[in-house]
Structure 1
Amino acid sequence: MSAPQAAASPTPLNIAQRSEQSAVILTVDGVLDAGNSGELRDSITKATFDEPFGVVVDVSGLEVPGEDAWSILLSARWQFETRPEVPIVLVCENRAAREAITRSGVARFMPVFPTDKGALKAVTKLTRRKVHRGEAKLPANLTSLRESRKLVREWLTSWSKPGLVPVALVVVNVFIENVLEHTNSDPVLRLEVDGPTATIAISDTSSAQAVRLASPPKGIDVSGLAIVDALSRAWGCVPTSSGKTVWAIIGPENQL
C-alpha cells in the first residue's frame, strides 16, 4: 500500500511594495489559489493602515484560475480592519483580465486601469470625492433589527438621501435577520453613501457564505436574498479573515 500523499502547500505569491506620489503600490505575481488568497487580502489591508493617499494593486502578473476568483480582492475592501477612506484601485495590463474583473463585480469598489499612471490619477480624484460613512456593532439579538433600521434612517436622512430610506430599510432588515438566524455573531453594520448610491454592508464571524436559494418551481420567490436581489443594483458576499461581509448597492432607481 502506498503512503498517503501530503497535502499540497499553498503556492507563494510575490508581493512587492513601493511608494509613489504618497500612494502605496503593491505589485503581485504568481498563481492565486485558495491557499494564498488570504495573503493577498491581508497585504492589501495592511497597506491601508498608515492611511496613505491610496493603494494601487498591480495584478498584471497575477494568474487567476477562474473569473469568480477575482472576487477575493473584494474581501480586502470589506475587511473590518481596512481603512475605508483609503481608495483601493487596480492595475491590469491585460484587457481580457480587466473585463473579467469588471464582470466579477470587483470594479464596483476597486476601479481597474491599464497603467499605474491612470490608477494614480484616479486615486487623486477618489480622495477628493465626498463619501459619507456610518458604522455600528450591534448585539446578537432581535434588538439589532430595530436599531439597524433606526441608524440607517438617521444616517440617510442626515446625508440628504431620504429617497433611499425605504429600500435601505428592507435590505438591512434582511441582512440582519440572516445573521441572527444563521450565526451567533454580533453583526457589524456599515453604510456608505457615494454620490447617488448607498452601499449597505453587514459583517459577521461566520465563514458560511450567504447564498440565495433556488426559486420555487411555482409561486413567488419571497426569500430574503431574492428580495435584496430585486431591490438593489448589485449584491454579493465575500469572505474576510474573521468571517464574511454581505453587501448591496442601491440607487434612486431602486424603489418599492
Structure 2
Amino acid sequence: MDRADRPGAGASRGGQRRAVLPTDVRCLVETDESSGVVRLSGVLDPPGTGRVRDALLGRLVDRPGPLVADLTGLRVTDPALWEVFGEVRRAVHDWPAADLLLCDPTGAVSGAPAWPTLDGALAALAATPLAAVLTVDLPPVVGSARQARQLVCDGCARWGVAELTEPGCIAVTELVNNAVAHARTPMTVRLAPRDSTLHLAVRDHSSRLPAFTGLAPLHTAGGRGLLLIDTVARRWGATPVPDGKVVWCVLHPDDQT
C-alpha cells in the first residue's frame, strides 16, 4: 500500500512531520524526522525482523548520534524476536557516534540499554548529546581521499588526539580509495572520538563487502589497502545497510607505537 493510501500516513504528534516506513502488513516503523525517535507498532513476526533491522540501520547510517526505538506499541510472535534490537546495537557499536537506546515497557529486550517509558529514554538521550562528529559527502574520485585526510587532521586537532592523525589519515585514505575503486558511488565519511579512541567510517552505496585475505603476493599490484587498515586499526569491519554498506575502523593510541 502506498503511503498516500494509508490514512494518517505522514501525520504527526504535536505537528511534527514523520515518515512511515512499511515493514510488513503487521508491523509499522515510524521515523520522526525531527528527532532521534523511531516508533515500532503492531506485531513483529519472523519475516518482519529483517525489515525492522534495515529500517533501524538505515536511520542510524543517515543520522549521526544515538537513536531511540520506542517499542511501546510493539508485540512479538516469539520472544526470541526481541534479539533483533541487540543485533542492531552490536552492528553499530563501532560506528562513529552511533548507538541504539530503547523504550521497552516489557523489560523483555536484552543487549541494549532500555527504559520503561519514552520520557525516560528521551531523558537519557538528552543526557548524552552528540558532542563531536565530523561528516563530509564525497564523490567517487581519487581527489576525495585528500579531503577525507583533511577531515581527519581537523578532527584529531580539535579533539586532542594528535597521535592518531597519521594512522587516521592512512586508514581513511584506504577506506575512501577502496570505495572509489570498487563501490564507485558517492560516499559519506564520518569520524568521531570516543574516550581516547577515534572511530572512522565510510558509507557507500554498493552492497559488495570488502574481503581481506591477508598479505598480497609481492608480484601483484594493489590489494594492500585492507592490510594497512588492519595494521593501524585495533578493529575494523563492514556492515551491510539498506542501499550499501558501512566500512568502519577504530584507532587506539596504545597501538601506535
Range of TM-score over shorter length: 0.5 to 0.7
The aligned residue for residue 250 of structure 1 is 251
Partner AA of 1:55 in structure 2: V
Unaligned runs of 5+ in 1: 1-9, 79-83, 99-111
For 1:60 and 1:232, the matched residues in 2 are separated by 40
Partner AA of 1:125 in structure 2: A
The aligned residue for residue 123 of structure 1 is 125
Unaligned runs of 5+ in 2: 1-22, 218-222
Compared CA separation, residues 94 and 212, structure 1 to 2 (3 A): farther
The aligned residue for residue 42 of structure 1 is 55
Q: Is 1:70 aligned to residue 87 of structure 2? A: yes
Identity %: 20
Compared CA separation, residues 231 and 48, structure 1 to 2 (3 A): closer
What SS does the aligned partner of 1:190 have? strand
Give 1:89's match in structure 2, choosing from 89, 97, 101.
101
What SS does the aligned partner of 2:236 have? strand
Partner AA of 1:41 in structure 2: D
The CA deviation at 1:50 is 11
Q: Is 1:55 aligned to residue 68 of structure 2? A: yes
Compared CA separation, residues 60 and 125, structure 1 to 2 (3 A): farther
The aligned residue for residue 159 of structure 1 is 159
Q: Show structure 1 runs of 4+ deviating over 6 A.
A: 16-19, 47-53
RMSD: 4.7
Normalised by the length of structure 2, the TM-score is 0.63
The aligned residue for residue 14 of structure 1 is 27
Structure 1, 244-253 or 208-217: larger mean CA deviation? 208-217
For 2:65 and 2:202, the matched residues in 1 are separated by 25
For 2:240 and 2:91, the matched residues in 1 are separated by 9
Q: Is 1:237 aligned to residue 238 of structure 2? A: yes
- Once the two structures are superposed, residues 10-59 of structure 1 have per-residue CA deviations (whole angstroms, 9 ceiling, x without a partner) of 9766357799xx974645753455x7524443267569999999513559
The CA deviation at 1:203 is 1.1
Compared CA separation, residues 27 and 233, structure 1 to 2 (3 A): farther
